């Protein structure tokens, strides 16, 4: 059974700081891993998708890495801004589970001005 764990559960940083969110998963047989952002009362926005054959993906100030063999992914946010405050979720798509995603419980990020 795939389990996805995110550390830390909550993080509060001052504006401008670089930060790293961590995600680990127990079953390395995955198709891909996605990082999402969830704002209160809203849906999920896909930030980055890393295929199992890739090591990292970048979009603007965001960089996500994937180490499939060790079951780890990190989301790096550079020069954080108050608008980055949200809950960040990672989700894996397993090879044996069709299209379903298994989510971690998220990291709640607060960036203080």
Partner 1 sequence: NAGVMQNPRHLVRRRGQEARLRCSPMKGHSHVYWYRQLPEEGLKFMVYLQKENIIDESGMPKERFSAEFPKEGPSILRIQQVVRGDSAAYFCASSHAPDSTNEKLFFGSGTQLSVL
Query: Which residues would be at the binding site for partner 1 (CB under 8 A)?
Result: 4, 31-32, 34, 36, 41-46, 49, 51-52, 89, 91, 93, 98-106
Give me the least distance between CB of 19 and partner 1, in Å please: 21
State which residue, 55 or 100, has the beta carbon closest to partner 1. 100
Residue 106 in 3-state DSSP?
A: coil
- The residue (of 34 and 85) whose beta carbon lies closer to partner 1 is 34
- Smallest separation, CB 5 to partner 1 (Å): 10
Q: Which is nearer to partner 1, 86 or 93 (CB)?
A: 93
* Count of Cβ atoms closer than 10 Å to residue 73 Cβ: 27
Min dist. Cβ of residue 14 to partner 1 (A): 27
Question: Could you identify the residue written with the tokens 């044996």?
Answer: 96
Q: Which residue is associated with the tokens 């108050």?
A: 82
Q: Which is nearer to partner 1, 31 or 76 (CB)?
A: 31
> Is residue 73 within 8 Å of residue 50, measured between CB atoms?
yes
Q: How far apart are CA 34 and CA 47, in angstroms?
A: 7
Could you identify the residue written with the tokens 């790096």? 76
> Please, what is the minimum distance in Å from the beta carbon of residue 99 to partner 1?
4
Task: Confirm if 76 and 64 have CB atoms less than 8 A apart.
Answer: yes
């Amino acid at each position: 059974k795939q389990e996805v764990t995110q550390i830390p559960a909550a993080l509060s940083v001052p504006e401008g700081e670089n930060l790293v969110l961590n995600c680990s998963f127990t079953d390395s047989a995955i198709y891909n891993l996605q990082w999402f952002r969830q704002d209160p009362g809203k849906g999920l926005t896909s930030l980055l998708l890393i295929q199992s054959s890739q090591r990292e993906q970048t979009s603007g100030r965001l960089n996500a890495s994937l180490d499939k063999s060790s079951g780890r992914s990190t989301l790096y946010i550079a020069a954080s801004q108050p608008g980055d405050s949200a809950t960040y979720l990672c989700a894996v798509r397993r090879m044996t589970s069709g299209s379903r995603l298994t989510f971690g419980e998220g990291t709640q990020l607060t960036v203080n001005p």
